[in-house]
Chain A
Amino acid sequence: MAEKRAGIEVENLVREFRKGPRAVDGIDISVEPGEIYGFLGPNGAGKSTTVLVLTTLLPPTSGTARVAGYDVVKDGPKVRAAIGAALQEAALDPFLTGREHLNLQAALHGLGRKQRKRRGEELLERVGLEEAADRRVRGYSGGMKRRLDLALALVHEPRILFLDEPTTGLDPQSRSALWSEVSRLARDEGVTVFLTTQYLEEADVLADRVGIIDRGKIVAEGTPEKLKAEIGRPSVEATPAEGSGREAVARVLSRFGEEIAAQPGAVAVRLMGGAGDLADVVRALDSEDVRVTNLRLDEPSLDDVFLEKTGRSLEGEGAQEVKEAQV
């Protein structure tokens, strides 16, 4: 019997493909009810395969996964009734309108005619598609398709929502609107959200906890703050003004920590005393009459966490081999 408030429990989950590497290689995940869990990793890391297994679209090779208290292999129908999912590519029928999609999705979930109509209206309004509701989706923009996909995932009021890279290809406005809706769902409706993304900012802003996956294995897990704190202290970078030499800036900053790589012409140090040292850095520069044009405090990012754990960076176009770049 499933608990009413169960989240996601994954133990030693493995998924192998024929003639391929292990897409998912023995991962353990625990997501609490009502939590937003960010699953972060580069392309091909195993994020989507994990989602396919958790949504019963792909059986695991080994290991166990319970979603909403139900085993994904033995209780597939119960899992599907409890979850909603917006997968990486919004699979929509170009010949159906937005409203017809919602009606179909609700019918598949066994909602009655009146319920389907009510829920459809409600969701169209919520995702801002009332005006486009009766247009065929082949004329929808990418953002509209994503919003419809989210509405479809919510039509049966799921307890757990899977979002597989939901903002890929969206403009900043649409992305921000989607973030707000996801936060609201978790906060106001207690929906558990399992969100995969390759955007660091998205995981940082939305997720209560983050799991970082690389080559099928989870390399780090925790709150974004904890993960960032684990890998080190913040750094400060100063760009000397004309008349103040780089050496003078470096001399002052060296009192606060070891020098690290910086932008060309600038000096950066890792602050021994944390972000609280920033005021002392300003006072020291001022007292020695060393002038700077720019002073920036850099907190460690999730990319730094990824870099620390894998030796590669997530930012930019795909994960770049930092070591290769340095050679």
Chain B
Amino acid sequence: MVGGARGGGFFAVALAVAGRQVYKYFANPAFLAPALFPLFFFVAFAGGLTRVGDVPGFDYAAGYVAFQYVWALLQAVAMGGAFTGFSIAGDFENGFARRLMLAASNRQGIILGYTIASLVRATLTGALVTVIALLTGMPMSGGFDLFGLIGLAILVNVAATLFGAGVAMLLRTQQAGPVIRTPIFLVLFLAPVFVPLNLLSGWLEAIARLNPFTTILDAARGLLAGAPTNVLPAYAIGAALVAVFALWAVYALRRAEKTGA
């Protein structure tokens, strides 16, 4: 009988898109390559710069490995978002996005689907970074707020994914890669990466103080050390970034719809 389906709603579309992306991550090991980036940074910096922890003024209670771990974790989840953006750009370039746009009754579900898949990827890379950190001697003292830290990591991942999705849907080509990656890299590195903010100086200190990611990074480090600072502002900044980039992604989706995706 010919009748036509009612069409998948927002969540049906999101789950279908997420299912495909996650399947691809696990079916093809190459899709997991981005996880190696943060691991490399973590092993290189935490291993080679441990004596920074002895510098006067370095007052992070959990030690230098933990100090680096937090940054590596947030970098891993942020880059997971960026790589999801690359996948979206690829789907637009090879025409697969058109299939999604054609079948999805509610196209905003496509954005949610990619975001869910990105979270799954971030969970995997985040877990890998954590395991490596523990194996390389990161102390787990009592009092740390794991859920608070995970919450911030989720916000960073979602914000980066939505930013990448927006750029990917605007440019609709894999050439979008550098446009997605570069701003995320800059935001991640123009922050107190290797030493606390109070040990930075000059232009880097000025920029790091203005960088909203600094507040998130400091709060995440505080949560791990069991000495929370600026947690509410960090969550507020994370939520604001998610809201802004969600609007950005929806705007880009509308643009893609207008130009024939």
Contact of A57 among B6, B12, B101, B105 (CB under 8 A): B101
In chain B, residues 31-63, which have Cβ atoms closer than 8 Å to a Cβ of chain A? none
> B22-30, B75-83, B128-136: which one contacts chain A?
B22-30
> A38-46, A107-115, A215-223: which one contacts chain B?
A107-115
Does more than half of chain A's interface fall in helix, strand or loop, or is it mixed?
Answer: loop
Tell me whether A95 and B24 are in contact (CB under 8 A): yes
Contact count A vs B, C-beta below 8 Å: 106
Question: With an 8 A cutoff between CB atoms, is A196 at the interface?
Answer: no
Tell me whether B99 and A80 are in contact (CB under 8 A): no
Task: Give the most central of A110, A189, A191: most B CB within 10 Å.
Answer: A110
Contact of B2 among A59, A95, A189 (CB under 8 A): A189
Question: With an 8 A cutoff between CB atoms, is B95 at the interface?
Answer: yes
Contact of A107 among B15, B24, B99, B261 (CB under 8 A): B15
Tell me whether B95 and A91 are in contact (CB under 8 A): yes
Tell me whether A156 and B4 are in contact (CB under 8 A): yes
Bound Cα distance A108, B55 (Å): 56
Number of interface residues of B (CB under 8 A): 37
A110 and B1 in contact, given A80-B102, A104-B19 (Cβ under 8 angstroms) = no
Tell me whether B5 and A156 are in contact (CB under 8 A): yes
Question: With an 8 A cutoff between CB atoms, is B211 at the interface?
Answer: no
**CB-CB nearest in chain A for B16:** A107
- Closest CB in chain B relative to A128 CB, distance in Å: 21
Question: With an 8 A cutoff between CB atoms, is A130 at the interface?
Answer: no
A95 and B5 in contact, given A57-B102, A107-B19, A108-B16 (Cβ under 8 angstroms) = no
A78 and B7 in contact, given A95-B24, A95-B27 (Cβ under 8 angstroms) = yes
Number of interface residues of A (CB under 8 A): 37
In chain B, residues 190-219, which have Cβ atoms closer than 8 Å to a Cβ of chain A? none
Tell me whether B96 and A52 are in contact (CB under 8 A): no
Question: With an 8 A cutoff between CB atoms, is A87 at the interface?
Answer: yes
- Closest CB in chain B relative to A5 CB, distance in Å: 10
Question: With an 8 A cutoff between CB atoms, is A159 at the interface?
Answer: yes
Q: Given contacts A95-B24, A107-B16, could you give 15 more A-B pairs where the C-beta distance is less than 8 Å?
A: A57-B101, A57-B257, A58-B259, A68-B4, A89-B95, A93-B96, A100-B20, A107-B15, A108-B103, A109-B105, A152-B99, A157-B1, A157-B2, A157-B5, A158-B4
Binding site for B on A (CB under 8 A): 52, 55-59, 68, 77-78, 80-83, 85, 87, 89, 91-93, 95-96, 100, 104-105, 107-111, 152, 156-159, 189-191
7 shortest A-B CB distances, which residue pairs? Answer: A81-B7, A110-B8, A91-B95, A107-B16, A156-B5, A108-B103, A58-B260
Binding site for A on B (CB under 8 A): 1-9, 12-13, 15-17, 19-20, 23-24, 27-28, 94-96, 98-106, 257-261
